[in-house]
Structure formats: C-alpha cells, structure tokens
Structure 1
Amino acid sequence: MKYPETKKILNQAVADLNQMIAVVRQTHWYMRGRGFMKLHPLMDDFMDDLNEQMDVISERLIAIDGAPYSTLGEYVENTKIPDEKGRWDRTMEERLEILVKDYRYLNDLYEKGLETADKEGDAATNDIFTGFKAANDKRIWMLQAELGKAPEIDA
C-alpha cells in the first residue's frame, strides 16, 4: 500500500475541514458588533477557501487510492476541532480568536502532512499541504491584525 500515513492525514484533514467550515459558518451567522459589515461577507470567502481545500485534499486522497470520509457521522467521529452550539453571547473578538485557534490547528496538521508526505515520497501531496498552509498563514495574519495582534505564525 502506497502512502499509508499520508492517507491518514489527508482523511483527518477532510474531517477537520468539514468541521472548520461549520465553525466559520457559525461565526458568520452569530456575529454581532463592530466590524460586522466587513466581517460577515468575509466569512463567505473563508468558507469558499475551506471548501476548495477540502475538495482538493479529497480528490488527492482518491488519486492515491484512498477513500475520503464522506458522511456527517464520519466527520463528527474523526474531527479534532471542537464542536460547540451556536451562542449569541460571544464578542466579535472571541469569535475571531476561535478562528485563529482552529486555523493554527489546521496548519499544525498540514505541517505534519508535509513531514509525512515527504517521508513517504509523495511530492504532490506535499505541494498541496504547502500551498494550503501558506493560505492559512495569510488568514491567521489577517485575523490577528483585525484583533490588533502580530501574526505569530510560528507561535
């Protein structure tokens, strides 16, 4: 079997990206306060980017003879991003900090994917993780800037 550990990380990413989309959607629906007019539509862009990542990762998994998770049950059972009921009592800052935390988690997963794909000789998957990690770094930077903080990408 070729790339066994890479396949596991790709599938972990499928589950986590599905959950991350739900977290961003919840942010989109439940946000209130200063910055709403610019942040509300920006969440649509975030969801589009995450959907693109999930699609590319799932298709890569299929291309290397894997089987991506494809049910809500599989996503819920396998994600490592926390699930939380929507609430109106969070500030805009709290919502953005949750996004930063979860994007950092995805980047840690992608870093592990880079190391694993490299070890298993899967240059194409390595390239995918590199590009998506860079895109997520930009999201973290932008969210941190909105919060008045330095990017702290390597934090």
Structure 2
Amino acid sequence: MAVELRGLTDNARKTSISELNERLADSIALALAVKQAHWNVKGRNFIAVHELFDTVHNNLREHIDVMAERVQQLDGVAVGTAQKVAVASGLQEYPTDLAKAEDHIRALCERYREHGEKLRLAIDATDEAGDADTADIFTAASRTVDKDLWFMESHLE
C-alpha cells in the first residue's frame, strides 16, 4: 500500500528516497569504521579516545535509524545490509592496520569531513526537490557530524 504524503510530489519522494539511501550507506560504513577504530585504538589517551569513539558511534546510529525510517515513510525500501553498504558507500575504505589513537582520529576525521560535505549536498537536493522534512533530517545529521568532527579534531591539537 503506497503512502500518500500531502504536499509532496512524486519527484520529491523519489529524490529523497535516493538521497536517504545514499547517506544511509555512508552513515553505516562510517559507523563501522568508528567501531573498527574503537576496537583497535591504543595510546596514551586510550580511555578518552575509546569512549569518544563510543559516543560518536552512538550519534551515527541515531541518525541511521531516522534516515531508514524516513525512507519507509516515503514508501521506499531502506537498504542497509553489509553487502549493499559495501557497494553503495562512497566513503573511502577504512584502513584496518591502524593502532595509534592519532592515526585513527585522522582517518576518521577525513571520512567525517567527506560525510559532512555529502550531507550538505543532500540537504540542498531534497530541499530543492520540495521535501523540507528530509532536508531537516540531513541538517540534524550534518550538525552532529560537524560537532563530532570538532571533538575528534580537538584530540589532535
């Protein structure tokens, strides 16, 4: 049964579903990269960085859920299996040979900057298509990604 949201054109719905699934793939890939770092981090500030990675991972998970649920609200299919995410994510693959906290933080910061840029493009695309609600979801995710990037970059100074 198709969902009809008043005031939302078919083009807006299709644009939003596409953007949501693209950002969902990147968000899941990034969440897995954060967990890779969390499990393998070593160094002088181990506990602080280990706990920071838990926090940023949880922040990503919240936005992942909101994005996937919005796809459903728009009568789409949220695509989030490991196999589909591996193919669909446009983020750089996360290295598995890192151990030092600073190396993990740098690698994650690169991916967070890239993810933030893509979220901002998705804000524009969905807003221009006429779906302000989905644009708002991306705006919230973008704010969180920017804040978490700032927290991680602060460990490098």
TM-score normalised according to structure 2 size: 0.87
List alignment gaps of at least 5 residues for structure 1.
Answer: 149-155
Are 1:120 and 2:129 counterparts?
yes
What residue number does 1:99 align with?
Answer: 108
What residue number does 1:138 align with?
Answer: 147
List alignment gaps of at least 5 residues for structure 2.
Answer: 1-9
* Residues 7 and 66 in structure 1, CA contact (< 8 A), matched pair in contact too: yes
Kindly provide the amino acid, as one letter, of the partner of residue 105 in structure 1.
E
Equivalences for residues 1-155 of structure 1 within 5 A: 1-3=10-12, 4-84=14-94, 86-87=96-97, 89-148=98-157
Identity of aligned residues (%): 27
What CA distance in whole angstroms lies between the structure 2 residues aligned with 1:117 and 1:38?
Answer: 37
The CA RMSD measured in Å over matched residues stands at 1.4
Secondary structure in 1 matching 2:43: coil
TM-score normalised according to structure 1 size: 0.88
* Residues 2 and 64 in structure 1, CA contact (< 8 A), matched pair in contact too: no
1:89-118 C-alpha deviation (Å, 9 max, x unpaired): 542211101111111111111111111111
* Residues 9 and 109 in structure 1, CA contact (< 8 A), matched pair in contact too: no
- How many residues are treated as equivalent by the alignment? 147
Kindly provide the amino acid, as one letter, of the partner of residue 49 in structure 2.
L
